[in-house]
């Protein structure tokens, strides 16, 4: 079964972005390959829901709406750290099917919104 680390590597390559493992165990997707706070240009986060055997990729709803991909999301969630609403995409572990492709298309559009 695919691990979170393996998924993030595969997903970030498909999107064309960089990633960084956070202290909390989740990963941030970013436009710039740096660990300097404030210079990372983080645009999404990836976590694992082990009981459901899925990976969840979340981003801010305003970014998703700006590029017209918010309707592709599987749901919404309040981002406690920024007090903003986010949207998320659910991808089954090991998937390369429509759930994976939908998330890649959406995050690539957000990534290309403000290229590095």
Q: Residue with structure tokens 């082990």?
A: 50
In angstroms, rounded to a whole number, what is the distance separating the alpha carbons of residues 84 and 115? Answer: 23
pLDDT of residue 91: 96
pLDDT category at 1 given cuts 50, 70, 90 is confident
Which structural domains are found in the chain, ordered by start? 4-113 (3.90.1150)
Six token digits for residue 25: 């165990």
Residue 61 has pLDDT above 80, yes or no: yes
Q: Render pLDDT for 24-55 as a digit per residue (tens, 0 to 9).
A: 889 999 988 876 666 568 899 999 998 899 99
pTM over 0.85: yes
């Amino acid at each position: 079964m695919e691990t979170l680390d393996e998924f993030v590597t595969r997903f970030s390559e498909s999107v064309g972005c960089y990633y960084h493992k956070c202290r909390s165990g989740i990963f941030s997707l970013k436009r710039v390959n740096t660990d300097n706070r404030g210079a990372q240009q983080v645009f999404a986060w990836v976590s694992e829901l082990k009981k459901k055997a899925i990976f969840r990729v979340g981003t801010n709803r305003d970014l998703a709406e700006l590029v017209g991909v918010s309707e592709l999301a599987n749901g919404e969630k309040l981002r406690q750290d920024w007090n903003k609403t986010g949207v998320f995409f659910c991808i089954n572990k090991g998937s390369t099917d429509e759930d994976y492709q939908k998330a890649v298309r959406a995050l690539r559009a957000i990534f290309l919104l403000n290229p590095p």
